[in-house]
């Protein structure tokens, strides 16, 4: 009897163990997976920077990131209250969208079209007053010509869309009118996005048709200065949209897309991918490429008001220093009204919120200090990246510690090779932080120092020989 009971108990125990295994095995595997993920993040590659001062490369580009976009937060001249602050950014180009639906440009007069440029002209005058050239996103469909009056629909008559584009270019680039040179006209804004029409590459809402009639209008524009027409201004760098435009054989002066990517290396990957996609069409590989909006997320985020956004910008500029786009447009210059905790995309808070300049506002002039010939820099890590330059006998090394999770700190060794023995002054300046100066001597051809980098920090070291 006792043997029988032990046999039953053993079977019961085995059954319970088997059921428990079935229940807890998935949870156990999940814990292991999360642990591996955390360990892989924690064991990324630390930086050990080496700069060879004898190897000079191409000049550092300091103009391509001085481009900015303003979204249609309000149907007013949003930039006018901030003109002096924007001018201080030294903008080369400023892009705006909503030019037709926000500013009352197009209406119908009997059976024809009537154009009133008054409100839009005011915005363009403000942009010009900052020292920038405007980039006009040809958006959205004027309700006077759109199906059902919807600004995200095709027009009732495609020839009227061509006429609108022609009139726009003749007004701003026309020699008898605003007489502007070098204006970029971008066909639509984020056409693949639902809220802007969900256009595709076929069907009734075919972006290629939208573009074709825009090109017809552009080519019909008379007495105009040189200008650029392009697109597709999609929410990402989609090679199928790029190659479809190329294969349409329409006028195509530049390519454009938006990039909201938390990983700075993805920006460089996109540049490589677009060139790869264009290799079968070699005459297009040298066309200007514009990232006409960029950030770390397309959603509004309080992080846009912190050092996270500034470090992300610096890390992206580092990735695009060599082989990057013609222009990289930061989105956006100014928050819309009533943004909670200044959580909009802007570099500057709305006037109703005190026009506070956020950390990202200051990164552009900080990066400008790196002007000069680029030096060979190696030893970047998973978080800390950088580039180096030389100008007027001053060596500069920029490092940025960007961590998507926002917690990584690192002590980074920096070594300069190929220098002359002697005494050197090292000036260390952190973005929106302190500046310190130290003196180091070496009797060899190398000079070494370390820098402690907190999360989301950006620093420039200036190394200068001290005359004794």
Across the chain, which has 468 residues, the per-10-residue mean pLDDT values are 40 44 40 39 85 97 98 96 97 98 95 95 98 98 98 98 98 98 98 98 97 98 98 98 98 98 98 98 97 97 96 98 96 92 91 94 98 98 98 98 96 98 98 97 97 98 92
Per residue in 175-185, pLDDT tens? 999 999 999 99
pLDDT on residue 15: 43
Distance CA(323)–CA(301), nearest Å, equals 30
Q: How many CA atoms lie within 13 A of 331 on its CB side?
A: 22
CA distances from 206 to 51, 191, 209, 210 (A): 50, 10, 5, 7
Give the β-pairing of 67-70 and 93-96: parallel
pLDDT on residue 340: 78
For 395, the 3-state DSSP assignment is strand
Distance CA(318)–CA(411), nearest Å, equals 20
Distance CA(251)–CA(135), nearest Å, equals 17
pLDDT on residue 111: 79
219 sits in which H/E element = helix 207-220
pLDDT on residue 42: 55
Architecture field, domain 67-368: Alpha-Beta Barrel (3.20)
| CATH number for domain 45-60+372-465, candidates 2.60.40.1500, 3.40.50.1820, 2.40.400.10, 3.20.20.140 | 2.60.40.1500
Backbone dihedral angles phi then psi of residue 191, each to the nearest 5 degrees:
-65, -25
Domain boundaries, the chain: 1-43, 45-60+372-465, 67-368
Per residue in 226-266, pLDDT tens? 999 999 999 999 999 999 999 999 999 999 999 999 999 99
Classify residue 307 as left (phi > 0), alpha (psi -120 to 50) or beta: alpha
Cis peptide before 232 (omega within 30 of 0): yes
């Amino acid at each position: 009897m006792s043997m029988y009971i032990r046999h039953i108990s053993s079977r019961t125990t085995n059954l319970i163990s088997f059921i428990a295994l079935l229940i807890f095995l998935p949870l156990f595997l999940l814990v292991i997976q999360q642990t591996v993920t955390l360990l892989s993040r924690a064991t990324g590659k630390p930086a050990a920077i080496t700069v060879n001062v004898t190897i000079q490369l191409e000049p550092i580009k300091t103009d391509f990131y001085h481009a900015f976009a303003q979204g249609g937060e309000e149907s007013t001249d949003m930039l006018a209250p901030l003109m002096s602050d924007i001018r201080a950014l030294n903008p080369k180009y400023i892009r705006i969208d909503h030019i037709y639906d926000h500013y009352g440009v197009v209406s119908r007069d009997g059976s024809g079209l009537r154009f009133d440029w008054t409100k839009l002209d005011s915005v363009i005058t403000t942009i010009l007053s900052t020292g920038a050239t405007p980039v006009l996103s040809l958006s959205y469909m004027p309700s006077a010509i759109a199906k059902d009056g919807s600004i995200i629909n095709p027009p009732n008559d495609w020839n009227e869309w061509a006429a609108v584009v022609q009139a726009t270019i003749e007004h701003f680039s026309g020699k008898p009118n605003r007489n502007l040179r070098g204006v970029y006209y971008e066909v639509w804004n984020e056409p693949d996005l639902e809220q802007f029409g969900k256009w595709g590459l076929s069907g009734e809402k075919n972006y290629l048709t939208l573009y074709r009639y825009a090109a017809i209008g552009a080519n019909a524009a008379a007495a105009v200065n040189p200008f650029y027409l392009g697109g597709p201004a999609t929410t990402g760098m989609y090679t199928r949209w790029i190659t479809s435009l190329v294969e349409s054989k329409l006028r195509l002066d530049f390519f454009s897309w938006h990039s909201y990517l938390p990983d700075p290396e993805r920006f460089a990957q996109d540049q490589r991918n677009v060139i790869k996609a264009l290799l079968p069409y070699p005459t297009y590989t040298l066309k200007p490429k514009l990232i006409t909006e960029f950030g770390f997320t397309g959603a509004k985020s309080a992080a846009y008001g912190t050092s996270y956004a500034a470090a992300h910008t610096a890390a992206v500029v580092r990735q695009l220093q060599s082989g990057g786009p013609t222009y990289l447009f930061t989105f956006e210059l100014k928050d819309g009204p009533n943004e909670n905790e200044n959580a909009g995309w802007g570099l500057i808070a709305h006037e109703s919120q005190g026009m506070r300049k956020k950390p990202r506002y200051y990164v552009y002039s900080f990066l400008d200090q790196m002007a000069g010939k680029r030096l060979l820099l190696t030893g970047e890590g998973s978080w800390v990246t950088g580039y180096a330059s030389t100008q007027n006998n001053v060596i500069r090394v920029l490092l940025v510690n960007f961590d998507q999770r926002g917690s990584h700190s690192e002590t980074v060794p920096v070594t300069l090779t190929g220098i002359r023995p002697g005494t050197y002054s090292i000036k260390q300046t952190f973005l929106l932080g302190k500046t310190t100066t130290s003196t180091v001597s070496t009797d060899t051809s190398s000079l070494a120092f370390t820098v402690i980098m907190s999360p989301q920090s950006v620093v420039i070291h200036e190394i200068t020989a001290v005359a004794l």
